[in-house]
Amino acid sequence: MSKPILIGLSPNTDASDAWLAFKLLLQPWRWQIGLEQPQLKAALKKYLKFPHVYLTNSARTALYLGLKNLRLPAGSEVVYPEFTCTVVPQAIVKAGLKPATKLSPQTKAMIIQHLFGEPDDLTKIVRLCRQRGIILVEDLAHSLGAKYLGKPVGSFGNLTVLSFGRDKIISSVFGGALLSRRPLAGQLPLPGAGWIARQLLHPLIFALAVPTYFYLGKYLIYLCRKLGLITLPLTNLEPAALPNALAVLAMHQWRKLNKLNQHRREIAKIYCQTFKRRFNPSATYLRFPLKVPDPAGLIKFAKRRHILLGNWYENKIVNLPTHWRMDQADARRVVAVVKEYVHQ
């Protein structure tokens, strides 16, 4: 039985995360409000040098909240990278603004993504935004812990958005944060106990399912979804604050941030050497993007060999996994499958 190599399905979760989630399930008094929410805020504030931090139930909530509180005229254009998740333009529209993929005189804000953890050219971008009076929003969904000229990515903009989703740099199953240079009006409600309980079950379910994914595991996940025990990642969430129980999970992963990112870099080095790509020691390499002639075909080919590759975004490229569950032998196995498919 070959070891499953999966790019998603809570790739950050280890035994300590599952044990922590189990203990939290038995401590409902810590679910909504607790000590970890201010601790997480303080850690993010110190690291990224922002005066105001708001914890949210998702990155899309954080982006919507940040854009809404800019109080821009209705219909103002927000430029964003076209090659991105659909929740980005959705959040722009929800905030009453207009998504755009090219600069124009109507551009009032710009979202940059540092895609897959590779820092964008912030020198050029910051200069452009200052010259044109454009508000800069940094999206760190892929790049928490990356550096640009020795400074943390995410500390350059007017607003910064973080994601603690299940397959992001650090994970609390659902979650995100907004960092702002100025205080925001209003306060988000906290989610209910039932929703929180389902998120705490998530690390336990996947800790059982992932090791046998291609045999029993995928059926366990399917059953849990049918029973409503798992919330799908792109579920239409109402804006809410991050409950304390998920802040506990996020803080636990925050303490492993450097370890998780260093492991990703070590796996990415193997891919860079194989596919003749420049290695960037300042990147986080959440996933390793690779252009191949038939991305969808490669994904199907690899799946038959018990390897799940990613399709962020739109099946235009494949993503190779870099997370902590992989060792260097696993990375070489992925490389061998890619080569076999490309050269067949």
Does the residue 45 lie in any domain? no
Question: CA 183, CA 159: separation in Å to the nearest integer?
Answer: 11
Does the residue 290 lie in any domain? yes
Does the residue 104 lie in any domain? no
> What pLDDT, on the 0 to 100 scale, is given for residue 50?
97
What is the DSSP pairing of strand 147-148 with strand 151-152? antiparallel
Q: What is the pLDDT of residues 75-125, one digit of tens each?
A: 899 999 988 888 999 999 999 999 999 999 999 999 999 999 999 999 999
Does the residue 264 lie in any domain? yes
Number of domains composing the chain: 1
Does the residue 323 lie in any domain? yes
> What pLDDT, on the 0 to 100 scale, is given for residue 314?
76
Q: What is the pLDDT of residues 150-168, one digit of tens each?
A: 999 999 999 999 999 999 9
Angle between helices 15-25 and 244-254 (to 10 degrees): 160
**Mean pLDDT score, 16-25:** 97
Considering the chain, what percentage of its residues have pLDDT values greater than 90? 92
CA gyration radius, the chain: 20
Angle between helices 193-209 and 218-226 (to 10 degrees): 160
Does the residue 321 lie in any domain? yes
Does the residue 90 lie in any domain? no
Does the residue 275 lie in any domain? yes
Q: What is the pLDDT of residues 24-83, one digit of tens each?
A: 999 999 999 999 999 999 999 999 999 999 999 999 999 999 999 999 998 899 999 988
Q: What is the pLDDT of residues 183-220, one digit of tens each?
A: 998 889 999 999 999 999 999 999 999 999 999 999 99
Residue range of the domain that includes 292: 257-342
What CATH number did the domain enclosing 264 receive? 3.90.1150.10
Q: What is the pLDDT of residues 254-300, one digit of tens each?
A: 999 999 999 999 999 999 999 999 999 999 999 999 999 999 999 99
Q: Where are the alpha helices (DSSP H) in 180-256?
A: 193-209, 218-226, 244-254
